[in-house]
């Protein structure tokens, strides 16, 4: 199973928004730069993420996009499904039963391996949050500045 650029870029954009969670909205240009996603393509990806309730927008000079929930509460699987649809290494094992159209499903000798593969992918995607990706990132998370405390003499 291959993840398309839509899926990859959608997750990267969400990680960029997660990195700046709590700092206010990010412009499309800022998200594009932080995620290395072309801004024209990013504009196409933000709409479905917004409709799915994962991001919200704010208009105006200080506007942009931000996560609707903390990064700890956004599962990578949610983002993946918005971008790619149901997890389905084969149509016969799609998460969406309506997609399971193969006439050989009943009695198929190979279906158990595809089910196992789908379940492993689902478990991987749903076991990680955006915060987990940030924690595992080689880039350090921003640390708030601490005011200097005068030393007693």
> Could you tell me the two tokens for 70?
């903390």
pLDDT in tens, 73-123: 999 999 999 999 999 888 888 888 888 888 888 888 988 999 999 999 999
CA-to-CA separations, 108 to 8, 103, 133, in angstroms, rounded: 32, 9, 37
Where in the chain are the domains?
5-136
pLDDT in tens, 43-80: 999 999 999 999 999 888 788 999 999 999 999 999 99
The SS3 call for residue 58 is strand
Q: How much is the pTM?
A: 0.82
Give the domain 5-136 fold: Arc Repressor Mutant, subunit A (1.10.10)
């Amino acid at each position: 199973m291959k993840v398309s650029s839509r899926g990859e870029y959608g997750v990267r954009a969400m990680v960029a928004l997660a990195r700046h969670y709590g700092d206010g909205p990010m412009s499309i240009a800022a998200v594009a730069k932080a995620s290395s996603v072309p801004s024209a393509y990013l504009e196409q990806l933000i709409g479905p993420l917004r409709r799915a309730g994962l991001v919200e927008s704010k208009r105006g000079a200080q506007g942009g996009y931000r996560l609707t929930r903390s990064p700890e509460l956004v599962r990578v699987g949610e983002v993946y499904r918005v971008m790619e649809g149901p997890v389905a290494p084969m149509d016969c094992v799609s998460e969406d039963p309506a997609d399971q159209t193969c006439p050989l499903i009943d009695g198929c000798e190979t279906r158990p391996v595809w089910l196992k593969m789908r379940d492993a992918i689902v478990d991987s995607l749903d076991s990680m949050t955006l915060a987990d990706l940030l924690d595992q990132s080689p880039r350090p998370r921003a640390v708030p500045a601490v005011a200097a405390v005068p030393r007693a003499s």
